[in-house]
Structure 1
Amino acid sequence: MNTKQITAIGVGVALGTSIGTTVGAVIGNVAMGMIIGSMIGTIIGVVLSLVVYKEEEK
């Protein structure tokens, strides 16, 4: 894990949490939205970090 990968995961989690908060506000359950958002964000973050890792390999 390098700094870029950790940053990518952080960005993904932040994105997911903000998306989740918005979704939560729409469905009327912000806490649930944030939980779902952080899960989605973690997935986004891991994917981003893998992309960064593949780019670093070249």
Structure 2
Amino acid sequence: MNKKKKSNKSGYPDEAIKTLARCFYPSMVEFFNSEEGQREYEEWLKEQEVLQALPVAA
């Protein structure tokens, strides 16, 4: 028995998620290709570096 592994654990149907992704994708690409989007992405990367440098609490 080959069972497909379900990766969607949100409770929403896969088709609904795909439909939303198709709607948002063009706007997201446009934003991240803009100067503002590039600037925000760079800021986010810097924040991630700071977070990675923090010690992990046990």
Normalised by the length of structure 1, the TM-score is: 0.38
More helix by share: 1
Higher relative contact order (CA 8 A, sep 6+): 1
- Structure 1 or 2, whichever has the larger Rg, is 2
With normalisation by structure 2, the TM-score equals 0.38
